[in-house]
Structure 1
Amino acid sequence: METPLRLTFHGGETSEALSTLIREHVEELERLYGRLTSCNIVVQVPDRHHRVALYAVNLHIVMPGSIDINIDHIPQNDDRFAIPQFAVTDAFRRAKRAIKERAQKLRGDVKTLRERIERTVDQPEG
């Protein structure tokens, strides 16, 4: 992994398993999209005293050309985010989509409507 990575856990202790999963996702982004300038990740560990404890993962990725990708989805009423691996995977899935969309815009790839075909009713000559 070439990208400088800053990983922070708020509200709880560092998880080596989660750190490894995050590094794997960053390496995958590098393979798919090339070098990243920086990658800052904050994992918000839920307070265990709440009835439903949900994880939130925020990503700030900088790509060459000072292109910023920010993923700051905060889960609401979705019990899947109680699983930290799901929260990490979801954040990186969103990041991949955002990077792909940004790359398409930079290349000028935009959806175009099909050319309109003018149709006329054939009339007999006479």
Structure 2
Amino acid sequence: MRQELQIAFRNIDPSPALEHLIGEHADKLDRFFTRILATRVVFEVPHRHRHQGKHYTVQIALTLPGGELVVHSDKPGGHGHETADAAIRDAFDAARHALESYAERQRHEVKAHVRA
């Protein structure tokens, strides 16, 4: 099923190049797990601190049958990534891993009925 994709930008102007990159990653995720109903991506540049450069964060919310998964691109310590590409890549990698876990849980929840 083709997913609905929504992209929001915070503290940064929308970028066609970033939208295209996010769309490519979302398409790969959709091919990996075909039951995604909707994908919402928030690309953010948190407010800058005086001694740090730009850091990017990405949040992905996936709507699935029976639930929703939310993942972030944050590095350890809650810091963002120094490049937009790395933030997007890491967020979609986290989404793929979360989908793998979700699919595994779904397979184990289906119980076989034993006839007596």
TM-score band (shorter)? 0.7 to 0.9
**Matching residue's letter, 1:58:** Q
Quote the RMSD (CA, aligned, Å).
2.2
**Matching residue's letter, 2:43:** V
- Say whether the 8 Å CA contact 2:73–2:88 is kept in structure 1: no
- How high is the sequence identity, in percent, across the aligned residues? 27
| Aligned counterpart, 1:97 | 97
Give the Cα separation in 1 of the matches to 2:91 and 2:46.
16
TM-score (norm. length: structure 1):
0.75
Q: CA deviation at 1:74?
A: 3.2
Structure 1 alignment gaps of length 5 or more:
110-126
Q: CA deviation at 1:105?
A: 1.2
Count of matched residue positions in the alignment of Structure 1 and Structure 2: 107
Say yes or no: does 1:106 pair with 2:83: no
| Aligned counterpart, 1:40 | 40
Structure 2 alignment gaps of length 5 or more:
110-116
Give the Cα separation in 2 of the matches to 1:23 and 1:68.
19
- Say whether the 8 Å CA contact 1:12–1:46 is kept in structure 2: no
> Larger Cα Rg: Structure 1 or Structure 2?
1
Give the Cα separation in 1 of the matches to 2:37 and 2:78.
34
TM-score (norm. length: structure 2):
0.80
Give the Cα separation in 2 of the matches to 1:57 and 1:102.
20
The correspondence of residues 1-16 of structure 1 with structure 2, limited to 5 A, is 2-16=2-16
Larger displacement relative to structure 2 (69-78 or 40-49): 69-78
Q: Secondary structure of 1:97's match?
A: helix
**Matching residue's letter, 2:62:** I
Give the Cα separation in 1 of the matches to 2:78 and 2:42.
20
